[in-house]
Amino acid sequence: MSIAALTAITGLSATNQADVLADLDAQGANLLVVSPAVGVDDAPAYLRESAPAMTARIPGVESVAVVRAVPNRVHAYKSDLVPAGQTNGLEVVAVAPDYFAAVGSSFEAGRAFDEAGRSLPEAVLGSEAARLLSVGDVGQRLWVGGEWYLVTGILNPRPLVGGLDSSVLLGDRWAEQALWVDRSTSAGGTAGSEAGHIVSLTISTESHRLGEVRQVLAPTVDPARSGAVSVSGASALAASRAIVDDSLSLLVLALAAVALLVGAIGIANTMVVAVIERRGEIGLRRALGARPGHIARQFLLEGVLLAGVGGVLGWMLGAGAVLAVALFGGQVPVLPFYGVLLYPAVAVVVGVLAGLHPALRAARVPPTVALRSS
């Protein structure tokens, strides 16, 4: 029974744990954002062009999403009638089509711009940006940097990717070929030198390697000036992920220990009662020539069998419970596979420990009880 509890507890918690962790990952707990540290002179700073390729080589990194700058003058408005000052604080950046998958965002409406749209005046809006610009659906137009853009997609909220919700995302090739070139050729400004520079990287990691990736990230992005790189992440979430991972395991361990203890006490109690009830049999066996060791061995074996059979049955019962609960809760059942062999084995060990005392008691029953009880 206690093995059933053990299996159920570990199984249920593993199921829940997997669920919670998947949830946290979906929220972006496994994301890191790299951006240049703002210098003392407040000059715009950018990451090196080699950074994405270098970063992708760090073990544990699953994908790297690049965000590039657009010229300072480019802001987004609902229409050409909105005064230039009312930018709503929206940020306009340029990204590649694979950016959305890399940061794990999903679309409330529409889709990402494709390879063709990457070079066209199309925009994808973060959820907050869509609300502020009163854009309810794709197909609407947007006034950005003095031109009309077609809204092709609206994102679901993704608060953990810094700034994404209030961003207006343009195609990187369009930005490079139209925005930067346009400005640098027509006005001959200084912007040309910063054309399409990388303003941040969003890095998705294998969740359990987040910490190690984070440590090597800054030196990888800029080996010469790692201090000029700031790495941020959903650190609170990452921390809570670690806590969920550890504390649930610890909690489970504690519960399992209690379950085993209860089981051991149960077995020991059953055996002690058996020894008392079977004093006559013990006396008889002693009279027939059984040595104390024979009696102890017999009772120990019975305890082990009791525990072993109970362990197997308990595992089946517990596994059934986990399956049932998971199916009802719509979760994917997670059963530690080692349980099949481990728990019955644990049960046997517990059986030995719990049976030891009763067995020794049985061995001490004097053989004369066979005579006395008659």
Q: Which residues bind other proteins (CB under 8 A)?
A: 280-281, 283-294, 366-368, 370-374
Which residue's CB is nearer to other proteins, number 121 or number 283? 283
Select 44 or 293, whichever has its Cβ closest to other proteins. Answer: 293
Distance CA 163, CA 251 (A): 36
For other proteins, give the closer residue by CB, 77 or 299.
299
Q: Residue 252 Cβ, how far from other proteins at the closest point, in Å?
A: 40
CB of 7 to other proteins, least distance (A): 31
Minimum CB separation from other proteins for residue 371, in Å? 5
- Bridge partners (DSSP) listed for residue 140: none
Q: Pick between residue 154 and residue 362 the one whose CB is nearest to other proteins.
A: 362
Q: Cβ 330 to other proteins, closest distance in Å?
A: 48
Nearer Cβ to other proteins (6/290): 290
What is the distance between the alpha carbons of residues 257 and 15, in angstroms, rounded to a whole number?
Answer: 19
Those residues whose C-beta lies under 8 Å from the C-beta of residue 38, and which sit 6 or more positions away, are 45
Backbone φ, ψ for residue 22 (5° rounding): -60, -40
CB of 372 to other proteins, least distance (A): 7
Hey, what long-range contacts does 214-218 have (CB within 8 A, 24 or more apart)?
214/32, 216/58, 217/32, 217/34, 217/55, 217/58, 218/34
Q: Go through 170-208 and write b for each residue having 16 or more CB atoms within 10 A of its CB, e for each that does not.
A: bbbbbbbebbbeebbeeeeeebeebbbbbbbbbbbbebe
Closer residue to other proteins in complex, CB, 56/284 = 284
Q: Are 162 and 230 in contact (CB under 8 A)?
A: no
The CB-of-21 to other proteins minimum distance in angstroms stands at: 52
